[in-house]
Amino acid sequence: MADKINLFDLDREAMTAWFIDNGEKPFRAKQLLKWIYHERVTDFDAMTDLSKPLREKLKNIAELRFPTIIADKTASDGTRKWIFRYDCGNSIEAVFIPEDDRGTLCISSQAGCALACPFCSTGHAGFNRNLTTGEIIVQVWLAKDILNCDRHGNNRVVTNVVLMGMGEPLVNFNNVLPATRLMMDDHAFGLSKRRVTLSTSGIVPAIHALREVTDLSLAVSLHAPNDELRNQIVPVNARYGLAALLDACHQYVRHNGQHGGVTWEYVMLRDVNDSLEHARQLAELLRGIPGKINLIPFNAFPGSRYQCSRRSDILAFQRYLTENGYVATIRKTRGEDIDAACGQLVGQFKDRLIRERKQTRKEVETV
């Protein structure tokens, strides 16, 4: 028999089409989504407003596929990190960051990343594969499920989702888009577009395509104010340079009438991109595009060749931007004791990925 369909792979439109293909009424999609995402019921027998024959049919042709949770750690500041394993060689991390007024879940879109930014531990580990829509949305499902079961504290709810974990989401466009639709669909997680943020290193054609199909919030990993430097820190810049990137971002916010504009991410690397001259160039570059700048203290990892900027340089950089009319914040480092800071989800991941790859190779060789 053919593999069962993973219902986590289907957004409302796809699920409606799937029901029609299977000779069922289209409204079944809304019913099923509510069971899965509102009630968090995964047992078809418990879906009481579906007829018995439909429940039997679903058991035969569909399933809800879950990864194995291979780690679940909580840091002293309440940040919580999970490692989810989908299959051999493909583990990813998701991190929940509780704050007074919100709870942000940082999720992954790929196992690894091919774009090889030299300051990023995911980039160092290389690329394994794209995650499916189901593998992306199940991170949100599981985090919500686990956190609601948590007896400590009531504020541990996921109010925001950021695609800032492992991977470049716009390289996995076709799987990421339906997952973000499920995040924003009232029949599923129902988050507002301002609370779902996709972070990209700047895949320009995909930003143009995104503009036409969604209005989620956009974060862009800028990290350098000129092409020469950005070519080194964000290698994909050699393909899509700053002028084209900024134009695509400007069009995105204009088209979507985005309230807050773009979030520009800027990792602070000591003596690399953190001088006042860089701040001046940055202020010049971003003039006229609505947005705010998020300065990210660099998280060192084993084998990284950079250091985090001095605190005084970060503050001076921020001050320059603020004095020149920008909103510039410094990202708080969270979950340090469990390697959970955003962009540094993977901790010992590199070793593990290599181990898992060796294991996969061995398995392939022995087949």
Active site residues: 93, 342
From the list 54-62, 117-125, 141-149, 351-359, the region that binds ligand SF4 by CB under 6 A is 117-125
- Tell me if 163 contacts ligand SF4 by CB under 6 A: no
- Site for ligand SAH, residues 253 to 272, rule: CB under 6 A: 265, 267
- Tell me if 176 contacts ligand SAH by CB under 6 A: no
- Tell me if 123 contacts ligand SF4 by CB under 6 A: yes
Distance in Å, CB of 54 to ligand SAH, minimum: 40
Q: In the set 33, 138, 246, 296, which binds ligand SAH (CB under 6 A)?
A: 296
CA–CA distance, 151 with 272 (Å, rounded to integer): 45
Single-letter amino acid code for the residue at 256: N
DSSP 3-state assignment of 218? strand
- Tell me if 141 contacts ligand SAH by CB under 6 A: no
- Tell me if 134 contacts ligand SF4 by CB under 6 A: no
Q: In the set 168, 265, 313, 339, which binds ligand SF4 (CB under 6 A)?
A: 168
Q: Does residue 117 have a known ligand-binding role?
A: yes
Distance in Å, CB of 35 to ligand SF4, minimum: 34
From the list 50-58, 113-121, 189-197, 329-337, the region that binds ligand SF4 by CB under 6 A is 113-121
CA–CA distance, 69 with 146 (Å, rounded to integer): 11
Q: In the set 89, 98, 134, 167, which binds ligand SF4 (CB under 6 A)?
A: 167
- Tell me if 347 contacts ligand SF4 by CB under 6 A: no
- Tell me if 344 contacts ligand SF4 by CB under 6 A: no
CA–CA distance, 337 with 63 (Å, rounded to integer): 37
Single-letter amino acid code for the residue at 12: R
CA–CA distance, 239 with 202 (Å, rounded to integer): 10
Nearest C-alpha neighbor of 96 from the set 149, 39, 172: 149
Q: Does residue 187 have a known ligand-binding role?
A: no
- Tell me if 120 contacts ligand SF4 by CB under 6 A: yes
3-class SS letters over 57-70: HHHHHEECCCCEEE
Looking at the Cβ atoms of 16 and 130, the one nearer to ligand SAH is 130
Q: In the set 16, 237, 273, 299, which binds ligand SAH (CB under 6 A)?
A: 299
Size of the site for ligand SAH (CB under 6 A): 18
Tell me the residue length of the chain. Answer: 367
- Site for ligand SAH, residues 336 to 355, rule: CB under 6 A: 342-344
Nearest C-alpha neighbor of 84 from the set 160, 196, 8, 3: 8
Long-range contacts of 323-329 (CB under 8 A, 24+ apart): 324/283, 325/283, 326/283, 326/286, 326/292, 326/293, 327/292, 327/293, 328/292, 328/293, 328/294, 328/295, 329/292, 329/293, 329/294, 329/295
Binding residues for ligand SF4, rule: CB under 6 A, are: 113, 115-117, 120, 122-123, 167-168, 201, 221
